[in-house]
Every structure is written in structure tokens, then in C-alpha cells.
Homo-oligomer: A and B are copies of this chain.
Amino acid sequence: MQNKPLILITNDDGIFAPGIFALWEAIHQIGEIFIAAPDTEKSAVGHAITISDPIRVEKINRKNGFSGYAVAGTPADCVKIAVRALMERQPDIVISGINAGANVGASLLYSGTVSAATEGTLLNIPSIAVSLDSLTVKDFNFAGKIAAYIVHQVLEKGLPTGTLLNVNVPAVPESIIKGYKITRQGNSHYQEGFDQREDPRGRTYYWMTGQLVEPTGSSDSDIQALNQNWVSVTPIHYKLTNEEFLPELIEWGLE
């Protein structure tokens, strides 16, 4: 690594969201910053990428020196195009956030925030996703401090290839935070419903509704840690093969 680390910042709430600004404020003195984030909110787009449409990129300036690239694409697109086309060298670290809303349990599959960090790991860059456990709280300052600390730690210690850190911060006053907890992805999932309505022209449409539930919570799960006011840090990778089931599947005699 060069003296000043090169840090790629992205998110899924869009380049004009408060969370990415707070993240930039908290870490911009750690290194050289490059920002590439969606031009509009892209929550819950998962690991979508844009292969059937062209992608446009526009340089934008917010305030206090925050400037970056607004990408007409998904969070994963942002990381790909930044690393492969826009940046002069490979970043030393990718950090995605600060997301408005926790990313735990099954949410990891839907999360654009986590998928952007995942894309970083696919490109062999140590990557971090940071989320604040609230859709309404607007104060990202404490989560920014957490992000800065984790960035320092990852720059110093590195991460195994293909592994990212998924960090979730409780949205409570700093004095109530108990500290860090290393956690596992919990088995929480969405219990969704569909709210059926009629538009003014008499046509039916649906809104997806839903809330995260954890039926069999274990004390070291991400969501339990959050609920007990710990900052949750989960190491995530994408080795998707169910190794335990392989022997039984071979017994099926397909081969």
C-alpha cells in the first residue's frame, strides 16, 4: 500500500443521501477518497448489475469538498465501473454506506449496500458494508466514527480473499452502546405481505410489505447483537455450496 490509502466510497441510497455524506466526513482524512454511487436510491436491488442498458456517469459536487461520480446504475455497477474504468489504480479498500436501515439475516441477499461491498471482494479489494439500524434517524455521526475505526483496522490487518465485513450500528445514543460484538449472520427473514389496491383507473396493483422476524434467534446473531445495543461485525463470504448435503445428494444416484 502507498502512504495514503485509496478509498472507494459507495452506497445504495444514492450519492445525495445523508449516510454517504456522513461516511465521507468521518473517513476523508484517512486517505485519498474516490466516490462512485448511484444517482438515485437503489435500495433492495441486491447484486443486480446493468448488462442490457448503457451506464452513464456524471461528476457531481455536494459541499465541503465532497465530490464524486453519480452512476446511473446499481451499487454493484458503481464498484465495477469505478475500479475498471474511472479510477487510476485499484483502491486499497471499498466501503459501502452508511445505509439507512440494518442489513442482517436474509436482508443480506436483498441489500445493495452489502452487494457493493461484495463486488469489492470479487475484485480482490478488502471491503466493508456499514448500516445504521434505523430508517428514520438522521444522525449518522456515531456510525461514521465506527466506520472510520473499522477502516483503520482493515487497512492495518487486511481481510481474507473473498471476505467482507458487514457492520451494523444500533441507532441509539453513543452512551448506551455496549461495544463491538463479532457475530454470525442470523436466520431472520422477511414475513412479507402484499397490499392490494386499485389505481384511479380501476386497475389492480400491489405494494410489498413486510417485516424482519427471527424465529430462532441465537445470542451471537447479527440482529440479536443490534437489538442489545452492540455494534455487530460479521465476516461474510460467498461460498454457497452446501458441503454438508453433498454426500446425501450423491446418494441420490443421479451420477
Contacts and interface: CB of A to CB of B under 8 A. Distances in A.
A196 B118 contact: no
B235 A182 contact: no
Contacts of A80: 192, 194, 208
A2 interface: no
Given A44-B51, A240-B237, A206 B245 contact: no
Copies per complex? 2
B245 A241 contact: no
A118 to B, nearest CB: 7
A204 B56 contact: yes
A122 interface: yes
Interface string A105-127: 01011100001001000100000
A46 B150 CA distance: 28
Interface stretch (A17-25, A137-145, A246-254): A246-254
A81 B193 CA distance: 8
A50 interface: yes
A110 B163 contact: no
Contacts of A239: 185
Contact of A194 (B85, B203, B233): B85
Interface of A: 41, 43-52, 54-57, 76-77, 80-81, 84-85, 106, 108-110, 115, 118, 122, 153, 157, 159-160, 163, 165, 179-182, 184-185, 189-190, 192-194, 196-197, 203-208, 233-246, 249-250, 252, 254-255
